[in-house]
């Protein structure tokens, strides 16, 4: 019976890097939600995986996506780094593509520096229209 890919059950997993002391290997903690049978509530259950990171580009605290290797690389390493989802200290918001920190963007989102004269007059006219409309509401 040949297994085409993945000597392990988890093919793709997302986890947080907790250690990079090993050469070209990252220690990744993966949490899954597991149902407690009595409380019927989901709790995070942790498991650590070792992932092959050839360029040693992971820092402790990164959120990474791991892909299962076709065969085990060594006794414990069965995954490799597919991509770094969120780099610690350098989170890029995937919707806008801009760097952000917490709930605020790091750079100014509005492009008011690039507006021309025509744009500003058009916008100010629109604002005037809105001012006229508001008492009617």
Partner 1 sequence: MPMKGRFPVRRTLQYLSQGDVVFKSSVKVMTVNYNTAGELSEGARKFVFFNIPQIQYKNPWVQIMLFRNMTPSPFLRFYLDSGEQVLVDVEDKTNREITEHVKKILGKSKEMLEKEERERKKLSHPATFGPKKYHLRECMCEIEGQVPCPAFVPLPKEMRGKYKAAMKNEA
Q: How far is the CB of 15 from partner 1 (least distance, A)?
A: 8
**How does strand 25-35 pair with strand 12-19?**
antiparallel
Contact positions vs partner 1 (CB under 8 A): 10-14, 30-33, 35, 39-42, 63, 65, 67, 82, 85-86, 91, 93-96, 100, 102-105
Please report where in the chains the tokens 């492009």 appear, as a residue: 111
Residue pair 25/77 in contact by the 8 Å Cβ criterion: yes
Phi/psi class of residue 56: alpha, beta or left (left: φ > 0; alpha: ψ in -120 to 50)? left
Q: 21: closest CA among 47, 53, 45?
A: 53
Nearer to partner 1, 13 or 77 (CB): 13
Nearer to partner 1, 94 or 135 (CB): 94
Q: How far is the CB of 129 from partner 1 (least distance, A)?
A: 24
Q: How far is the CB of 42 from partner 1 (least distance, A)?
A: 6
């Amino acid at each position: 019976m040949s297994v085409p890919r993945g000597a392990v059950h988890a093919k793709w997993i997302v986890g947080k890097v907790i250690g990079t002391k090993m050469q070209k290997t990252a220690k990744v903690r993966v949490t899954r939600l597991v149902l407690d049978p009595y409380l019927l509530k989901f709790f995070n259950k942790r498991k650590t995986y070792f992932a092959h990171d050839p360029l040693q580009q992971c820092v402790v605290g990164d959120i990474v996506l791991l892909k299962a290797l076709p065969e085990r690389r060594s006794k414990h390493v069965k995954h490799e780094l597919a991509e770094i989802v969120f780099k610690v200290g350098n989170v890029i918001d995937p919707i806008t593509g801009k760097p952000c920190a917490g709930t605020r963007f790091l750079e100014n989102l509005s492009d008011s520096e690039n507006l021309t004269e025509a744009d500003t007059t058009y916008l100010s006219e629109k604002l005037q229209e809105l001012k006229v409309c508001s008492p009617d509401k």
